[in-house]
């Protein structure tokens, strides 16, 4: 099973950025999967069910009703990008992950070569401080590149930068052209592997949180900063932010769970 592949397609980054600037701030729609992210995650539809610009949910049961939205008519560079794909394009969206935001690990459904429908990512604005993990491996996707991502596999994103990350995300039907592109490109997978950082290079969330605790115990100033925060919500937010600044990736649920566990241990020992 192929987890990801950089396809031999490149796009006009400046043109894509110019199209992006044509989207008004009030046209972005908050992402529907609100259980799976923290911070800002929003999108606009360029191809959607019934051509609705505010429908960013790609409904697989209505494949025949996908149509261009009015927003796409503004975006000449995106139209040309989609035109390079010699396969049926179902949905196309711009998805924006705000500065400091994160997408919690999850899986999508029936989005792989084996399923006959795939998801492509074309980064428009991004940063080396954007951590995209697929099946435990970190993938660095650069602006203007085109990547196949097996979205059935667990994946998560952490935007540690101070700018929004925006991808053009395209769902396509697999045809002979697409299969031929993937087959010819797969021969360079050994070269691709050098761009993927092994998961062992970064700790899991529990390991990262334990590492952060070790940092706190060894840093008096940091310990005083944290102990001065009385509000639990603010305390958790600060821990997540300070951890990210030190390259340690965990979320608010991880911190809250650690606090609960520590309280339980204290209660069992002393009460």
Q: How confident is the model at residue 261 (pLDDT cuts 50, 70, 90)?
A: low
Kindly report the length of the chain: 271
CA distances from 53 to 15, 44, 104, 122, 172 (A): 21, 6, 25, 19, 18
**pLDDT (0 to 100) of residue 93:** 95
**pLDDT (0 to 100) of residue 193:** 46
Q: Give residue-wise pLDDT tens across range 166-221.
A: 999 999 999 999 999 999 998 665 444 444 444 444 566 778 888 888 888 888 88
Tell me which residue of 144, 146, 134, 247 sits closest to 197, measured CA to CA.
134
94: Cα within 13 Å, side-chain hemisphere: 31
CA gap 105, 37 in Å, rounded: 9
Averaged confidence pLDDT in the chain: 85
* Reported pTM: 0.69
Burial of 81 (0-12, 13-18, 19+ CB in 10 A): buried
% of the chain at pLDDT higher than 70 = 87
Q: Give residue-wise pLDDT tens across range 81-102.
A: 999 999 999 999 999 999 999 9
**pLDDT (0 to 100) of residue 257:** 74
Segment 117-145 shows an average pLDDT of 95
CA gap 167, 148 in Å, rounded: 13
Residue 79 has pLDDT above 50, yes or no: yes
Query: Scanning the structure block, which residue is given the tokens 């209505």?
Result: 62
- Of 63 and 29, the structure prediction assigns the larger pLDDT to 29
């Amino acid at each position: 099973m192929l987890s990801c592949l950089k396809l031999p397609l490149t796009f006009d980054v400046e043109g894509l950025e110019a199209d992006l600037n044509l989207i008004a701030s009030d046209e972005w729609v908050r992402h529907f999967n609100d259980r799976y992210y923290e911070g800002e995650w929003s999108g606009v539809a360029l191809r959607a069910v019934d051509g609705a610009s505010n429908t960013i949910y790609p409904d697989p049961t209505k494949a025949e009703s996908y149509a261009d939205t009015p927003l796409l008519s503004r975006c000449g560079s995106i139209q040309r990008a989609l035109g390079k794909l010699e396969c049926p394009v179902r949905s196309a969206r711009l998805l924006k992950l705000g500065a400091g935001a994160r997408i919690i690990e999850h899986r999508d459904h029936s989005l792989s070569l084996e399923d006959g429908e795939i998801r492509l990512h074309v980064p428009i604005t991004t940063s080396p401080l954007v951590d995209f993990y697929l099946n435990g491996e970190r993938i660095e996707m650069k602006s203007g590149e085109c990547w196949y991502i097996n979205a059935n596999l667990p994946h998560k994103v952490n935007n540690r930068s101070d700018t929004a990350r925006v991808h053009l995300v395209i769902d396509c039907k697999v045809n002979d052209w697409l299969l031929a592109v993937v087959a010819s490109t797969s021969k360079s997978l050994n070269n691709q592997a050098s761009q993927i950082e092994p998961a062992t290079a970064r700790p899991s969330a529990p390991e990262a949180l334990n590492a952060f605790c070790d940092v706190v115990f060894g840093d008096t100033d940091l310990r005083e900063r944290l102990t001065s925060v009385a509000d639990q919500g603010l305390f958790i937010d600060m821990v997540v932010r300070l951890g990210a600044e030190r390259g340690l990736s965990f979320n608010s649920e991880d911190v809250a769970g650690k606090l609960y566990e520590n309280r339980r241990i204290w209660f069992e020992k002393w009460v």
